[in-house]
Structure 1
């Protein structure tokens, strides 16, 4: 059996995108890990399966490189209208998202963030504005769900934090029943910050779209950021804005690299 695929990326966060709108393709955890392997497979951070939508233009499923399926991926969502060639509504496990072509990428309405401890989820109730927890030099993060669960730490220098060491400790802490994405950020100005992300199931990443959304939402919650801001990630920059109804609007590039075929 052969697999036709598209290699795409958003700020270096790279994907194997399978267009299954016409012909169904079976993806499971084992197959996702095999596809994502950079030595023996195609290689990617996430596998994206685009299917037909019953109440939307398309549907989207997402697997991390470790085979775990997740509900949302901001960078991948921007790739969908670029691949399809028009503005689209997308059914995901996190709900319906709307993505519109813009410049060399797209703008996505990522919905409203949730700071409820049950929605993240946490193992027990606590203040999500400042979790009473610490891991090494990282303490008291904001916890937020933006389709995926995240914690956000605001620090003086994102490059001084050993995220490659602390990231997995935080991701697998038992206080996070579904594991967690870890973001560290430094606010340069109310409309500008720099950040890095340890992504659940993928590790250090050049860019994390939901991580950028979570960091922006946390900054807004703590009155650190303006209603629109530029977020600089290792792979490039995203623009985040808060709409009048509290939705997060994420804008940034999405790139089609090549189309290929692989044996399954």
Structure 2
């Protein structure tokens, strides 16, 4: 079978996009996605994203396989790329165009901006321990600044779900973290029964933070949209950053706004086509 695809990236977080509108299920298996994502023997990507038919409440459905074949509920950088991909499929150059996209985390609404970036209504953060899910102790129902022992060290962590689980910890120097060593230990910690994404956050000032991430199912990536959202939420809960905040990732910056008016998180950032091909 020959598969046509487009390669997109959002701040270096890269994806293989497949037009899957002819079927309600992904046209390749997780095992095939692993091979496609291989950076030496395949196309190379952090994941494969499928544009599937819509539902009664959405124009399209999004599914994604990580580079290890697992399936996350959502991907912030990925849905920005998907919005650009859909616009390309439709031949749509309209600015301020919004799409309702059904995901395993619910309905997500990305909007194409006039400057070429995409703003995504990421919904309301989930803060209850059972929603994340995590077995960490909670105070007033929230897991904020709780101790977690990883690699014989006690870390102060805050847990947030943006439709997928995140464990956020604040550090003096995010560049000093040995992600390849510590990341898997956080991801597979018994306190997170569905595994977790982990963000290491350095607060530069109240409206500007630096973030490095170990993504569940993908490892070290240059950016993570849901992680940036979760990190700003955690920063506000820990009184370390503002609701409107720039998040600097290795691949570039995202603008995050946890709106006080409606409790929803809005993410704005780029999404760019790299190339098209056949596999």
TM class, shorter-length = over 0.9
Matches of 1:125 and 1:161, distance apart in 2: 25
Write the distance in 2 (CA, Å) between the matches of 1:115 and 1:23: 35
Instruction: Give the match's secondary structure for 1:69.
Output: coil
Question: How far apart in 1 are the matches of 2:264 and 2:154?
Answer: 28
Relative to structure 1, the CA distance from residue 72 to residue 138 in structure 2 (aligned partners, 3 Å threshold; closer, same or farther) is farther
What are the superposed Cα offsets for residues 9-47 of structure 1, whole Å, 9 maximum, x if unpaired? 100000001011246652322122121111222111011
Distance 1:163 1:4, change over 3 A: same
**Aligned residues of 1:118 and 1:125 also touching (Cα < 8 A):** no
- Segments of structure 2 that go 5 or more residues without pairing to the other structure are 88-96
Runs of 4+ in 1 over 3 A off after TM superposition: 22-25, 123-127
Partner of 1:36: 37
Asked whether the equivalents of residues 233 and 243 of structure 2 are also in contact (C-alpha less than 8 Å), the reply is no
**Residue pair 2:17, 2:85 contacting (<8 A) in 1 also:** no
Consecutive unaligned residues in structure 1, runs of 5 or more: none
Structure 1 residues 138, 257: closer, same or farther in 2, change over 3 A?
farther
Moved more, 45-54 or 129-138: 129-138
Distance 1:115 1:241, change over 3 A: same
Of the candidates 104, 112, 121, which is equivalent to residue 101 of structure 1? 112
TM-score for both structures, normalised by structure 2: 0.90
1:211 deviates by 0.7
The alpha carbon displacement at 1:151 in A equals 0.5
Cα pair distance change 1:104/1:179, threshold 3 Å: same
Q: How many Å apart are 1:125 and its aligned residue? A: 4.7
- Number of residue pairs matched? 262
The Cα offsets for residues 84-115 of structure 1, whole Å up to 9 and x where unpaired, read as: 22421100000000000012220000001111
Alignment partner of 2:251 out of 224, 235, 245: 235
Q: CA RMSD in A?
A: 1.4
Establish whether residue 119 from structure 1 lines up as the match of residue 160 from structure 2. no
TM-score, normalised via structure 1 length: 0.95
